[in-house]
Amino acid sequence: MDKVKVAVRVRPTNRREKELGTKTVVDMDNNQTILQALKEGHDGRKAAKTFAFDHCFWSMLEDDPKFQGQEEVFKALGVEILERAYEGYNGCIFAYGQTGSGKSYTMMGTHEQKGIIPRLCDALFENIKTMTKDDLTYKVEVSYMEIYNEKVHDLLDLKGNKQNLKVREHSILGPYVDGLSMLAVSSFEDINNLMNEGNKSRTVAATNMNNESSRSHAVFNIVLTQTITDLTSGVSKYIKFFKNMYHQSD
Ligand SMILES: Nc1ncnc2c1ncn2[C@@H]1O[C@H](COP(=O)(O)OP(=O)(O)OP(=O)(O)O)[C@@H](O)[C@H]1O
């Protein structure tokens, strides 16, 4: 698996863009994104620029044969990262783009059109159900923190403490946030509820688009722990997989 994969997605035009009669200048062909020039160049021709990415998702018109929806995005980006988590690899997916470009839709989606995170979590808990045995058990825990003005706050501190947490270095696991709450979850619903609770504690509301917001980063972590127990001796071996799944910076 490549260490880093880059994917581009084109969302449908919104009402405002339609009302303004906005012309679509982006086209996609397999893993290529083609940008059409609006004006003719010196030679009188409209030049097109082509860029190659690991994936290009064309999500403009549902009845277009090249349309790729939430399911295709998840299959291309989410499935492999989940499979690798069971092998002990850390994974991270983050969405980048200007406001209204479709980051939340791709990552979280809607009730009818679930995005990567709910699909990934549903698959994670479904897999755990089928993989759990007497000598093999799994535990999923989450943490949620905000980095604001270079200070770290625990967004899942049930006591509502707003103290600054210290970032320390573990000799094997690397950097970690000391004292960050880790809460056990058993479904996407649990995760979603904790994300919503955590969002209420953020210094800068996720919808607040001003200069302040650019200093706020929210990091949601899912940690999968696999426990293998030698049933004859009763000795357990813990393997922790860190999945940094959601990094939102507003
Ligand atoms: N692929 C898509 N298919 C259908 N609708 C989409 C798609 N992508 C985005 N939208 C719609 O476009 C609007 C803006 O998308 P979204 O809220 O995901 O943007 P965003 O990049 O997260 O914006 P912000 O940075 O302001 O939070 C929403 O109404 C969303 O439902």
Per-residue confidence at 27, pLDDT binned at 50, 70, 90?
A: very high
pTM above 0.80, yes or no: yes
Per-residue confidence at 155, pLDDT binned at 50, 70, 90?
A: very high
Q: Which CATH class is domain 69-249?
A: alpha beta
Question: What integer best gives the mean pLDDT of the chain?
Answer: 87
Q: Does the beta carbon of 105 lie inside 6 Å of ligand 1?
A: yes
Q: Does the beta carbon of 69 lie inside 6 Å of ligand 1?
A: no
**Which residue has the least CA distance to atom 14 on ligand 1?**
100
- Express as a percent the part of the chain with pLDDT over 70: 90
- The average pLDDT across 115-136 equals 93
- The average pLDDT across 118-133 equals 93
Q: Does the beta carbon of 104 lie inside 6 Å of ligand 1?
A: yes
Rg (CA), the chain: 21
Q: Does the beta carbon of 171 lie inside 6 Å of ligand 1?
A: no
For a mutational test of ligand 1's pocket, the pick from 63, 103, 105, 216, i.e. the residue with the most ligand atoms closer than 8 A to its C-beta, is 105
Ligand 1 centre and the CA of 99: distance in Å?
8
Q: What is the pairing mode between strands 167-170 and 174-177? A: antiparallel
- The average pLDDT across 125-148 equals 92
**With 90 as the cut, is the pLDDT of residue 113 above it?**
yes
Q: Does the beta carbon of 88 lie inside 6 Å of ligand 1?
A: no
**Which residue has the least CA distance to atom 13 on ligand 1?**
100
Q: Does the beta carbon of 103 lie inside 6 Å of ligand 1?
A: yes
Most confidently predicted of 127-131, 201-205, 222-226: 127-131
Widest distance between CA atoms in the chain: 80
Q: What is the pLDDT of residues 222-231, one digit of tens each?
A: 888 888 888 8
**With 50 as the cut, is the pLDDT of residue 209 above it?**
no
Least confident of 55-64, 66-75, 218-227: 218-227
ipTM tops the 0.90 cut: yes
Ligand 1 centre and the CA of 101: distance in Å?
5
Residue 132, token pair as written in the block: 């759990």
Q: Does the beta carbon of 196 lie inside 6 Å of ligand 1?
A: no
- The average pLDDT across 177-184 equals 94
- The average pLDDT across 209-216 equals 57
Classify residue 140 by burial, with Cβ atoms within 10 Å: 0-12, 13-18, 19+: buried
For residue 2, the model assigns a pLDDT of 73
**Which residues make up the CATH 3.40.850.10 domain(s) of the chain?**
69-249
Which residues are documented as binding site for ATP? 97-104
3-state secondary structure the chain: CCCCCCEEEECCCCHHHHHCCCCCCEEEECCEEEEECCCCCCCCCCCEEEEECCEEEECCCCCCCCECCHHHHHHHHHHHHHHHHCCCCCEECCCCCCCCCCHHHHHCECCCCECHHHHHHHHHHHHHHHHCECCEEEEEEEEEEEEECCEEEECCCCCCCCCCECEEEECCCEEEECCCCCEECCCHHHHHHHHHHHHHCCCCCCCCCCHHHHHEEEEEEEEEEEEEEECCCCEEEEEEEEEEEEEEEC
- Express as a percent the part of the chain with pLDDT over 90: 54
**With 80 as the cut, is the pLDDT of residue 242 above it?**
no
For residue 89, the model assigns a pLDDT of 84
